């Protein structure tokens, strides 16, 4: 195991982002931070670094401490051993509520039944 790993490789390997390209884009956009400073994709990470990064989907920022350095993507249980989650639990609750709201939101064009229900609410079908 090496003493340091590129930030984009590590973020992808521990499964915070689906592809290494997305991890690099998040670094380039200034969304991944270490000690308040934005990271570039090629920045070297070392064990003990504390990172702030956005959730891949939804609001909020998670805080993790680098425990192990890996360059290749591994199974999720092995990846979890390479970082320690120090995020405030309220952030995960906010994330859960956001996902529930998205799931319950209507999608696309209303169906005939939806239009009838809307008509009943507005008083057209009574």
Q: What is the pLDDT of residues 102-126, one digit of tens each?
A: 777 777 888 898 888 888 877 765 5
pLDDT digits (tens, 9 = 90+) for 79-98: 999 999 998 888 888 888 88
Question: Total domain count for the chain?
Answer: 2
C-alpha span between 86 and 75 (Å, rounded): 21
Q: 88's torsion region: left (phi>0), alpha (psi -120 to 50) or beta?
A: beta
Beta strands in 37-112 (DSSP E): 37-38, 44-45, 50-54, 61-66, 83-85
CB within 8 Å of 61: residues ≥ 6 apart: 52, 53, 54, 55, 87, 91
pLDDT digits (tens, 9 = 90+) for 1-29: 568 899 999 999 999 999 999 999 999 99
User: Hey, CA dihedral for 23, 68, 66, 86, is it positive or negative?
Assistant: positive
| 100: containing domain | 89-126
Question: Are residues 27 and 49 located together in one domain of the fold?
Answer: yes
Question: Are residues 74 and 101 located together in one domain of the fold?
Answer: no
**CATH number of residue 63's parent domain:** 3.10.290.10
Element (H, E) at 34: strand 33-34
- Enter the pTM of the model: 0.76
Residue 106: the pLDDT is 74
Question: Are residues 96 and 74 located together in one domain of the fold?
Answer: no
Question: Are residues 4 and 53 located together in one domain of the fold?
Answer: yes
Closest CA to 1 of 66, 50, 65: 66
Residue 33: the pLDDT is 94
Question: Are residues 103 and 73 located together in one domain of the fold?
Answer: no
Residue 79: the pLDDT is 93
Question: Are residues 7 and 38 located together in one domain of the fold?
Answer: yes
Question: Are residues 106 and 54 located together in one domain of the fold?
Answer: no
C-alpha span between 9 and 58 (Å, rounded): 22
Question: Are residues 97 and 113 located together in one domain of the fold?
Answer: yes
Query: How far is Cα of residue 46 from the mean position of the Cα atoms in its chain?
Result: 21
């Amino acid at each position: 195991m090496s003493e340091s790993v590129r930030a984009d490789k590590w973020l992808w390997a521990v499964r915070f982002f689906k592809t290494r390209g997305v991890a690099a884009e998040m670094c380039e956009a200034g969304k991944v931070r270490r000690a308040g400073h934005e990271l570039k994709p090629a920045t070297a990470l070392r064990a003990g670094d504390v990172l702030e990064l956005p959730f891949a989907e939804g609001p909020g920022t998670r805080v993790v401490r680098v425990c192990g350095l890996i360059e290749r993507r591994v199974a999720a249980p092995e990846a979890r051993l390479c970082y320690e989650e120090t995020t405030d639990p309220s952030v995960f609750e906010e994330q859960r509520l956001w996902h529930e709201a998205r799931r319950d939101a209507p999608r696309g064009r209303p169906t005939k039944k939806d239009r009838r229900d809307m008509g009943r609410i507005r008083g057209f079908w009574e």
